[in-house]
Amino acid sequence: MSTSPPLHSGTTNSRARQNILIVGCGIAGPVLATLLLSSPQSVARLPQVTILERNTAALGSGQNIDIRGIGKHIINILGLTDEIKETTTGEEGVKIVDANNRIWAQYAADKTGKVETGTSDVEILRGRLAEILLGKAKRVSKDVEARGGAGIEFVFNDTIEHLDQDDDKVHVRLTKAGERSYDLVVGSDGLHSRTRQLAWGQAQDGCLKQLEMYGAFFSTKKEAADGEWRSWYHSPRGMSVMLRPSGTKDKSTMLVLLADKSGAIAREMRGSERDVVLQKRLVLEKLNGIFWQESRLKDAVRAADDFYFDCTAQVKLEKWSKGRVVLLGDAGHCASPFSGMGTTLALAGAYHLAGSLISHPDQHDLAFEQYEENMRPLVTKAQKLAPGMPHLFHPQTFWGACLLRIFCAAIYWSSIINLLSRFKGPPAQVRKFKQYDFVVKKEI
């Protein structure tokens, strides 16, 4: 039943190497794996890591995401700054437009990265970032294997269906790979984390705080008029659309936000969270009479092979670990796309968790405690959304939408925006954070 590494004879031998299961190869998962294999310990002492991912490959989908503050430091530690900067979306800033494409306000990005605005100076497509991070983990794994270590085992197209733990081990059952035992299990499986459900059971009920808003992400053929700015159009009935550059010549990205205060969408979606046909139908219905780029939007929804639809929500848990199981990224503390911080938190979490585990190799409880201590303040700040987000930005009536544009224009003209961004306090801008001795090999 057990596939423990040979060094591990099933006893708590503190000299044996740990085996760690990471569930979810999105953003946080591959970074954690990379950093766990980048400790200064001898290769024989490095943990044996398994990454489990339910998709067949790193998903190429997902749209524009921001990397801010501490996230940029971590990308740097991983040696990926250049690779990432080569494929950023190049967004110049945000324009608030009306149905006739008139600009009511515009906020430029600060390309120096000193001031955090709606557009970060590092914006990248999520799928692209996931691919880059997975690529790094694969290269580090190969390198460790070449030096006689265990490296990373990648188990894709599979999922976790059972989990229980005793004092020494976590026992899991994967749908295809069967039963296995690990010293530690990390749930980096996103907002709807299965790991969280399995390990916490009813104790996690209610931890998902709905923001009563759904988001549909997809791409569309780029048109000449799209330009390099984000256009944000608000329609009455609690909807908005963002059209954004993708960093490529042929593609623009779309985000449709749908307010769901009545809970009608939630009821329709229940039990069909992965039914893309149903999701597309629902979004198409809502796009009727949106007035702005309606036929283009609809064609794009129909044609999209990277359509991604989900609720927006935050995850709030009192503690991110339970025995030998720990949560990372959105699984533990999703802040929602409105925070602009999900990816940065996922990176920071992977960094602190890896660092804590390396600092306390034989005391996972201490490591988990330290990880949480370092991450909590960042998470608490990121989960405080800007005043009025998201519903103030999604008025239900025609006049509400007009008022919102006037409000944005007023802010723009009086440059209160600078004050506001100071008030919100860019949560990612931590200048001091705990350092660990990672040794990430330089690549050319």
Ligand X SMILES: *[C@@H]1O[C@H](CO)[C@@H](O)[C@H](O)[C@H]1NC(C)=O
Ligand Y SMILES: Cc1cc2nc3c(=O)[nH]c(=O)nc-3n(C[C@H](O)[C@H](O)[C@H](O)COP(=O)(O)OP(=O)(O)OC[C@H]3O[C@@H](n4cnc5c(N)ncnc54)[C@H](O)[C@@H]3O)c2cc1C
- Binding region for ligand Y (CB under 6 A): 23-29, 52-55, 59, 61-63, 65, 126, 159-160, 188-190, 194, 217, 308, 329-331, 337, 342-343, 346
CA dist 263 and 97 (Å) reads: 28
DSSP structure string for 36-101 = HTTSSS-GGGSPEEEEEESSSSS-----EEE--HHHHHHHHHTT-HHHHHTTB----EEEEE-TT-
| CA nearest neighbour of 117 among 430, 422, 432 | 422
Of 176 and 249, nearer to ligand X (C-beta) is 176
User: 138: burial class by Cβ within 10 Å (0-12, 13-18, 19+)?
Assistant: middle
CB of 359 to ligand X, least distance (A): 38
Of 130 and 334, nearer to ligand X (C-beta) is 130
Of 55 and 204, nearer to ligand X (C-beta) is 55
What is the end-to-end Cα distance of the chain in Å, rounded? 42
CB of 157 to ligand X, least distance (A): 4
Q: How many residues bind ligand X (CB under 6 A)?
A: 2
- By CB under 6 A, is residue 414 in contact with ligand X? no
- Contact indicator for 428, 71 with CB cutoff of 8 Å: yes
If contact means CB under 5 to 8 A according to the sort of partner, which of ligand Y, ligand X, none does residue 151 touch?
none
Of 48 and 63, nearer to ligand Y (C-beta) is 63
Residue 248 structure tokens: 């490529």
Within 8 A by CB and 6+ apart from 133, the residues are: 27, 30, 31, 34, 58, 78, 80
If contact means CB under 5 to 8 A according to the sort of partner, which of ligand Y, ligand X, none does residue 329 touch?
ligand Y
| CA nearest neighbour of 6 among 145, 150, 138 | 150
Among 11, 56, 112, 295, binds ligand X (CB under 6 A): 56
Of 26 and 238, nearer to ligand Y (C-beta) is 26
CB of 240 to ligand Y, least distance (A): 15
Helices (H), 221-322: 264-269, 276-287, 294-303
CB of 56 to ligand X, least distance (A): 4
CB of 218 to ligand X, least distance (A): 23
CB of 327 to ligand Y, least distance (A): 9
CA dist 83 and 79 (Å) reads: 8
| CA nearest neighbour of 62 among 130, 9, 142 | 130
If contact means CB under 5 to 8 A according to the sort of partner, which of ligand X, ligand Y, none does residue 52 touch?
ligand Y
Among 76, 157, 380, 397, binds ligand X (CB under 6 A): 157
CA dist 10 and 188 (Å) reads: 26
Indicate if the alpha-carbon torsion angle 121, 122, 126, 128 is positive or negative.
positive
If contact means CB under 5 to 8 A according to the sort of partner, which of ligand Y, ligand X, none does residue 62 touch?
ligand Y
Of 105 and 327, nearer to ligand Y (C-beta) is 327
If contact means CB under 5 to 8 A according to the sort of partner, which of ligand Y, ligand X, none does residue 287 touch?
none
Site for ligand X, rule CB under 6 A: 56, 157
